[in-house]
Amino acid sequence: MQGVSDYMSGLGQAVAGFLGPDILALVLGLVLVLLFIQVNAMFLVWAERKVAAHIQLRIGPKEVGPFGLLQTIVDGVKLVAKELITPQPVSWLLFVLGPVLVFAPVMVPFVVLPFGPNLQVRDLNVGLLLIFSLGGLNVLAILLGGWASNNKYALLGAIRSVAQNVAYEIPLLLSAMSVVILAGTFSMQGIVEAQEGVWFIFYQPVAGLLYLIGAIAETNRAPFDIPEAESELVAGFHTEYSGMRFALFFLAEYTNMFIVASVATTLFFGGWRGPVADGPWWFLLKVYLLIFGVMWVRWTYPRLRFDQLMNFAWKYMIPIALVNLLLTGLVMKLVGAA
């Protein structure tokens, strides 16, 4: 893996020398990112089905490919081949724009994700801010799709989604801020480097927990999956979407899961650092372990009610996150003074 990343950066440099370094590295990076998004989503969907199956005393997909690994590809082909149904009373432009807008922002954060010491497309000094600001776009797209569908279930789902995302972004940001205070930088690579020796989860256990809870809510996954609660709202905001448009929502959800888990890994679990042989394998291992945890939660708990969810965010998570942030700032000031 180290060899590969060396090779990639070597290759990148070789071609860059030929065409101009910045543009090429970016293009190459984006191509790799797109590739990675597809493969990652495919793997995650397969993993989700396998995890769910084994938690539920089932076997899960096993017919297509070894261990059913190719099942997702087959499903993907099915989704691509399906007819794109556009119901009569929708507002067409917004309806089509919804899935596109939900998918576009999830690609960009990959630019700043620090997979390894050398494996990062761009180390921006506002990397963390970029991720959070793009995360905010997601909710706009959902609102657009839900509103444009002209369906009451979709509308209710969209309303829920907006309220939920607005509420949960605050503790998410606040808990990330306490890490930023510790690290003294917004750069993703800088945050990982600041965790030399001790991971931030040991300094910031409360923030870490808040971040993980908020992240599950932010990705609309059970027990916080109220925007698409299938037993209440049929399919929530994407009730009217079919075929590839639905697949884009799906792809975005799994990619989002990867992003929030990556951010959690970077902020709290030392990123690509490990006990031995630092490198991208540690990063991926931690990310997928976190995602496994998220899946485990999903297949264990029932769903919260809408108002309970909001109460939880506004009455507990946000005050705790605020106090935590204040204390962090105070301690840092005192330590700095001493």
Partner 1 sequence: MLRATLTDDTFYLNLGPQHPSTHGVLHLLLRLDGERIVECEPIIGYSHRGHEHMAQQRTLSQFLPNTGRMDYLAALMYNHAYCLAVERACGIAVPPRAEYIRVICAELNRIGSHLLWFGAYLLDLGGITPFLYAFDDREDLLAVLGEITGSRLTYNYCRFGGVARDLNQAFCDGLEAFIPKMRRRLADYHTLVSKNIIFINRTRGIGVVDADTALAAGFSGPCLRASGVDYDVRRAEPYSLYPELDFEIPTGQNGDCFDRFMVRLQEIEQSLRIVEQALERLPEGEVKAPAPQHPTPDPGDYLFTYESARGRVGIYLVSGGGRVPLRMKWQVPSFNNLSVLPSLLPGTLVADTIAILGSIDVVMPEIDR
For partner 1, which residue of 203, 281, 292, 299 counts as binding (CB under 8 A)?
Answer: 299
Choice between 112 and 217, CB closer to partner 1 = 217
58 lines the binding site for partner 1 (CB under 8 A): yes
Task: Please name the residue ranges forming H helices in the chain.
Answer: 2-19, 21-55, 71-81, 92-107, 127-148, 152-183, 188-194, 200-203, 205-218, 230-233, 243-268, 280-298, 306-311, 318-337
Asked whether position 307 contacts partner 1 by CB under 8 A, the answer is: yes
Q: 60 vs 135, which CB is nearer to partner 1?
A: 60
Q: Which of 13, 91, 125, 308 binds partner 1 (CB under 8 A)?
A: 308
Q: For partner 1, which residue of 15, 52, 74, 107 counts as binding (CB under 8 A)?
A: 52
Interface residue with partner 1 among 80, 166, 230, 319 (CB under 8 A) is: 230
CB crowding 246-261: b at 16 or more within 10 Å, else e: bbbbbbbbbbbbbbbb
Q: Is 134:112 a contact under the CB 8 Å cutoff? A: no
Q: Which of 55, 108, 162, 332 binds partner 1 (CB under 8 A)?
A: 55
Q: Do the beta carbons of residue 54 and residue 60 sit within 8 Å?
A: yes
d(CA 1, CA 278): 11
How many residues form the binding site for partner 1 (CB under 8 A)?
30
CA atoms within 13 A on the CB side of 220: 29
DSSP 212-228: HHHHHHHTT-TTS-GGG
Q: Does 57 bind partner 1 (CB under 8 A)?
A: yes
CB of 233 to partner 1, least distance (A): 8
Among 7, 67, 301, 316, the residue binding partner 1 under the rule CB under 8 A is 301
Under the criterion CB under 8 A, does residue 234 sit at the interface with partner 1?
yes
Q: Is 78 in the site for partner 1 (CB under 8 A)?
A: no
Out of 306, 320, 322, 332, the only residue in the binding site for partner 1 (CB under 8 A) is: 306
